[in-house]
Amino acid sequence: MVFEDDFDASSLDLAVWSPHYLPQWSSRAASAATYQLGDSCLTLSIPVDQGLWCEGDHKPDLRVSGIQSGNYSGPVGSAVGQQPYREGLVVREEQEPFWGWTPNGGYVELRARAELSPRSMVSLWMVGLEEQPEQCGEICVMEVFGDAPADIGMGLKTIRDPAVPQDFEAVRLPIDLREFHTYAVEWTGGEATFFVDGAAIRSCQGAPTYPLQLMLAVFDFPERSGAEHVPTFTVDSIRGWNVAEALVA
């Protein structure tokens, strides 16, 4: 094992996690996650009074509480920053380089549960650091929408890296999202194999071969139909192994 966070401390480990969702396109204050630590878990939530992320610019409207294990940007007014959501986007608040846990291969595992409504979703995804802009491909470990809670999305997303194929699929599985489940990826040599509760579900070729940071978040889309609800994403642990050690285990 090369990484473990069981969230049993009294505060979030800020040497590993930034509790702000892509703050360069907004600000740290406006992108701060709502979360609490208790019972050896991290719970991300979106209370009804939480504001929109990048209000007036990002479409569709969304609210988000997330943590990420890396971040950086260029100066204010530049276009240098991770995961821009449209052409012409510029940095609103410069971010100092921050690298927590940024693996380059191995076995990454999440144990979590979620309470969602039809207008919310949760995800753990891993993306390139974008110190070189083309290194932005994504491995999505899990992505689930509240209107299809048995459809577990997993796979690769090109984003803006032509070397990474778009190979993403939502697989229907007989699980209850409200209960704890384990979602994982084994990632080595350009291949990514995805697991749920220890069972291999699908494999993809062409995974990124550069370091990735982790992104973990709950989202709410106010324009979607559905009653107002406080979605939560409760994380028991995130762990990582070198591949050889994971295979032996």
Name the residue ranges covered by the structural domains of the chain: 3-248
In sequence order, which residues have a C-beta less than 8 Å from that of residue 29 and are 6 or more positions away? Answer: none
What's the CATH code, domain 3-248?
2.60.120.200
C-alpha to C-alpha distances, 2 to 101, 109, 120, 229, nearest whole angstrom: 10, 12, 32, 37
pLDDT digits (tens, 9 = 90+) for 167-188: 999 999 999 999 999 999 999 9
How far apart, in whole angstroms, are the C-alpha atoms of residue 35 and residue 50? Answer: 12
> Looking at residue 227, what is its pLDDT?
74
Mean pLDDT in residue range 74-86? 96
User: E strand or H helix at 246, and its extent?
Assistant: helix 243-248
Least trusted range by pLDDT, from 55-64, 92-101, 223-232: 223-232
Provide the token pair at 71.
Answer: 């971040």
How far is the C-alpha of 106 from the C-alpha of 112, rounded, in Å?
A: 20
Rounded to the nearest 10 degrees, how much is the dihedral formed by the CA atoms of 110, 170, 82, 77? -130
Phi-psi bin for 26: left (phi > 0), alpha (psi -120 to 50), beta? alpha
pLDDT tens string 132-141: 999 999 999 9
User: What pLDDT does residue 150 have?
Assistant: 96
pLDDT at position 247 is 43
What is the average pLDDT across 202-227? 94
Q: Closest Cα to residue 114, out of 146, 92, 84?
A: 146
90 pLDDT above the threshold of 80: yes
Binned at pLDDT 50, 70 and 90, residue 244 comes out as low
